[in-house]
Amino acid sequence: MQASQTDADTDRRGEHRRRALMTGKIVHSGGRGSFDCTLRDISDHGAQVSFADGQRCPDESYLIVVRTGQAHATHVAWRRGDRVGLKFDGSVDLSNGAPGGPPGLRNLWLELSPR
């Protein structure tokens, strides 16, 4: 990909993403499967994440941001190597027990979150 195309992709975003280096968890298949990811940047409407070698992000999933207790319903906006751009379709605050998402989402976050 040419540098000018990368700059154009950034300009299309329409909002500034905050750089992040946080632990995340991708939850898929209605909560039956999950794997770790690293958040590279995040905004109110999406995030860029990376994965271990060979891991493939499903087209639709939930992204749990371990530090904040937020879970975002997502769909893939783009893929480049081990990085994926996720667009948020809705969010749930797992830290306050708000309903939403697949069963067990909050319990998974509680297992992951530091005490």
Q: What is the DSSP string of 70-85?
A: EEEEEEEEEEETTEEE
CA dist., res. 113 & res. 57, Å (int): 22
Residue 4 included in any domain: no
Output the CA angle 7-21-25, nearest 5 degrees. 105
**Nearest partner of 90 among 58, 61, 56, 49, judged by Cα:** 61
Q: How confident is the model at residue 6 (pLDDT cuts 50, 70, 90)?
A: very low
Segment 42-81, tens digit of pLDDT:
999 999 999 887 788 999 999 999 999 999 999 999 999 8
> Per the domain annotation, does 11 fall within a domain?
no
Assign residue 20 the CATH number of its domain: 2.40.10.220
Report if residue 25 sits inside a domain: yes
Domain assignment of residue 91, yes or no: yes
Q: Note the pLDDT of residue 16.
A: 63
The pLDDT assigned to 66 comes to 93
User: What residues does 87 pair with on adjacent strands?
Assistant: 46, 75
Range of the domain at 52: 16-112
Number of structural domains in the chain: 1
Tokens linked to 9: 């992709």
**Is residue 32 in some structural domain?**
yes
Please, which residues bridge with residue 92 across strands? 71
Query: Does some domain include residue 5?
Result: no
Question: Residues 11-37: pLDDT tens digits?
Answer: 455 566 667 789 999 999 988 899 999
pLDDT for residue 115: 60
Pairing of strands 18-28, 46-50: unpaired
pTM value is: 0.81
Q: Answer yes or no: is 35 within a domain.
A: yes
